[in-house]
Amino acid sequence: MREQLELLLKLQEIDNTLTDLEGETQDLPERIADLRRQIELTDTVVKEQETALETAKRDRTKLENDLEDANVKLDGLKSKQLVIKTNEEYAALQTEIQYTTDATSKIEDSILILLEQIEGASADAVAARQSAADSRGVIEAEIAELDREMGRLTEALTIKRDERVRVAMNIDERMRERYERIIESKGDQALVPLVDGFCTGCYKKLPSQQAIEIRRGEKFFECGGCGRILYWGGEGQDGEE
């Protein structure tokens, strides 16, 4: 009996370790996915900055073409001044020249504003690329560490599961079923220590005669309160048998 109880305790210890390992393993894929999302987010910021820069450069090219057209038009108008015949024609031409000159300087102003924007956007894009590269390095190192952690946990799980099979093999089938049944209904521990005469699973006080028999370890006792298997946990805080 005592040997069976020890094997059951060993089984419970293994199951607790397995639960911990499985818990740690479960979180890892989500943590890795989070880190990958962070990289994607940084890449998106870089792409946005680069798109803004490209757009500003395209706008600049367009405005420069507009300016060229306006200057050609202005040259044409000015050359007409030489062949003008009447005062009305002259006045009309002056108005058009003035209008085109105004339009030209507006375009020039816009180009200046755009040049400043391009300068800013270039700096932003360089900074975004640099910071993306830096954080990518850090995050990828974290991911690699988590991958290694996952490998370690998977290996530890395999070893523990093998160990469980070996321990379970030596436990009486009826006891093993009892153990599994309690785990299923309680969700935590099937075996709990009896301390100072109390079941530490449900804190029910056991009759002293039962406590004595549990101490001897000759029989299995299920707690009348919670149904867990009791083993001797001693008297008081450090009262081991």
The nearer residue to Zn ion, 182 or 223, going by C-beta atoms, is 223
Q: Which is nearer to Zn ion, 182 or 199 (CB)?
A: 199
- Close Cβ partners of 25 (under 8 Å, ≥ 6 residues apart): 150, 153, 154, 157
Comparison of 24 and 222: residue with beta carbon closer to Zn ion: 222
Residue 19 Cβ vs Zn ion, minimum distance, rounded to whole Å: 20
Which residues of the shown chain bind Zn ion in the complex (CB under 5 A)?
Answer: 199, 201-202, 204, 223, 225-226
Contacts of 118 (CB under 8 A, 6+ apart): 53, 56, 57, 60
CB nearer to Zn ion: pick between 11 and 199: 199
The residue (of 4 and 210) whose beta carbon lies closer to Zn ion is 210
**Alpha helices, DSSP H, located in the chain:** 2-80, 87-169, 173-186, 208-216
Q: Which is nearer to Zn ion, 197 or 217 (CB)?
A: 197
How far is the CA of 70 from the CAs of 60, 89, 93, 97, 104, in angstroms? 15, 21, 15, 10, 6
Q: How far is the CB of 181 from Zn ion (least distance, A)?
A: 15
Q: What are the CA-CA distances from residue 188 to residues 27, 123, 149, 224, 225 (Å)?
A: 20, 58, 26, 17, 16
Query: Minimal distance in Å, beta carbon 238 to Zn ion?
Result: 22
Structure tokens at 24: 């740690």
Q: Min. distance of Cβ 151 from Zn ion in angstroms?
A: 40
Give the relative orientation of helices 2-80 and 87-169 as an angle to the nearest 10 degrees. 170
Taking the complex as a whole, how short is the minimal distance between the CB of residue 205 and Zn ion, in angstroms? 10
Those residues whose C-beta lies under 8 Å from the C-beta of residue 204, and which sit 6 or more positions away, are: 198, 223, 224, 225, 226
Q: What is the closest distance, in whole angstroms, from the C-beta atom of residue 204 to Zn ion in the complex?
A: 5
Q: Report in angstroms how near the CB of residue 184 gets to Zn ion at its nearest.
A: 16
The two tokens of residue 67 are 């300016």
Amino acid at 81: Q
Minimum CB distance to Zn ion smaller for 156 or for 202? 202
